[in-house]
Amino acid sequence: MKKNWLMILMGTMLAIGLAACGGGNNADNNGGESVSDAEQIAKKNCLSCHGDNLEGRNGPRLANIGSELSKDEILAVIEEGRPGMPGNLIKGDDAEKVAQWLSEKK
């Protein structure tokens, strides 16, 4: 019985995460504020799961991810995904920008 409830809970969390993680792949200009393209892309695609300050929500904490993973490793996660996170939520140059930005989070 516990196993069934656990599977239902995990499935529900995955469905909510997939619905929340979507968004556009294009960056806004943000009215001249000094926010990088990568940060804008992350706001649209990542922060609903990883938190407004990258503190983690239903996705892991990314605030210091650059001290754990290289840019290439972060890019691989963005492209390939991980359990609970589908791959290719961000593609191409946008994925490169976000991977670089996150790799600088130490």
Tell me the pLDDT tens digit for each residue of 5-52.
555 655 555 555 544 555 444 434 444 445 799 999 999 999 999 999
> What confidence score (pLDDT) does residue 37 get?
95
Q: What is the pLDDT of residue 3?
A: 57
- Output the pTM of the full model: 0.69
Contact 103, 66 (CB under 8 A): yes
Asked whether the predicted pLDDT for residue 106 surpasses 70, the reply is yes
106, 64 contact by CB (below 8 A): yes
Domain residue limits, the chain:
2-103
DSSP 8-state code for residue 27: P
Give the pLDDT score at 97: 97
By the 10 Å C-beta count (0-12 exposed, 13-18 middle, 19+ buried), 25 is classed as middle
Quickly list DSSP for 47-72: HHHH-TTS--SSS---TTGGGTS-HH
- Domain 2-103, CATH: 1.10.760.10
pLDDT in tens, 47-100: 999 999 999 999 999 999 999 999 999 999 999 999 999 999 999 999 999 999
pLDDT reported for residue 8:
60
